[in-house]
Amino acid sequence: MGPVLRGHEGGVMTAAFGLDGALAITASSDRTARLWRVADATCVATIPFDAALTAMAVDRTMIAFGDALGGVHLFDFSISKD
């Protein structure tokens, strides 16, 4: 069994891995999304929202978070490697 990612104050509604498997993204009823470094279970970013998160979709450069108020929040997380 791998590391446990701890830090949300509410239930985790959805989780996904980044494409390379080095990062995980979680969305919670505590109105935050968190980005985790999988190797050492460290939270590297917390994104606050105005409502509980209920859904998430991830592709190569975007994350979409759905919230309990009917909103969908889009984030571009593409990183230039130049």
In the chain, what are the domain boundaries? 12-69
Please tell me the predicted confidence (pLDDT) of residue 80: 47
* CB contact at 8 A, 49 and 69: no
Q: In a structure prediction context, what are the per-residue pLDDT tens digits for the chain, which is 82 residues long?
A: 778 899 999 999 999 998 888 999 999 999 999 999 999 999 999 999 999 999 999 988 899 999 999 999 999 877 544 4
* pLDDT per position as a tens digit, 31-52: 999 999 999 999 999 999 999 9
- What is d(CA 64, CA 49) in angstroms, rounded to the nearest whole number? 13
Alpha carbon of residue 72 to chain centroid:
14
